[in-house]
Amino acid sequence: MSFEEAELIKKRAEAFLRNAKRLLEEKEWDLAAFNLEQYCQLVLKYKLLVEKGSYPRTHSLRSLIRLLGRPEALKLIEDERYLHYIARLEEAYIVSRYIPYSYEEKEILDLYRFVSEVFKRYVDP
């Protein structure tokens, strides 16, 4: 993939995070959760593309984090406190498509805080 294609993935990731924030303001909890997951997935794929030259066709955040292999990023799946959030984000991908489930405000505000304060720090320093 070219530099331009990698930058497009990064740009889309950032747009998903901005959109998640807007959806939070609009109290669209379910869609905000999906957008948070998409941000995480795309930023991981961007990092893999830049650092390793390619990325797999998977939506598993755990798999993408393992493939990235950075010690700081691996903390996201090795630390139980963080793994809980990663699992909830993976769940958001599946729930948004296949399961009738509604998120609550507190859940999504907590996920947003995790993504913007913790995930970004470990994956995109």
CATH number at residue 107: 1.20.120.330
- Neighbouring C-beta atoms of residue 57, cutoff 10 Å: 5
| Per-residue confidence (pLDDT) for residue 95, from 0 to 100 | 87
What pLDDT shows up at residue 125?
Answer: 58
Q: Which long-range contacts (CB under 8 A, 24 or more apart) does 27-30 make?
A: 27/105, 29/102, 29/103, 29/104, 29/105, 29/107, 29/108, 30/95, 30/96, 30/101, 30/102, 30/103
Q: What was the pLDDT predicted at 29?
A: 94
The total of structural domains in the chain comes to 1
What is the per-residue pLDDT across 83-93, written as a single tens digit (0 to 9) for each?
999 999 999 98
- Write out the residue range of the structural domain in which residue 24 sits: 3-123
Percent of the chain with pLDDT over 70: 98
| pLDDT tier for residue 97 given thresholds of 50, 70 and 90 | confident
Share of the chain above pLDDT 90, in %: 83
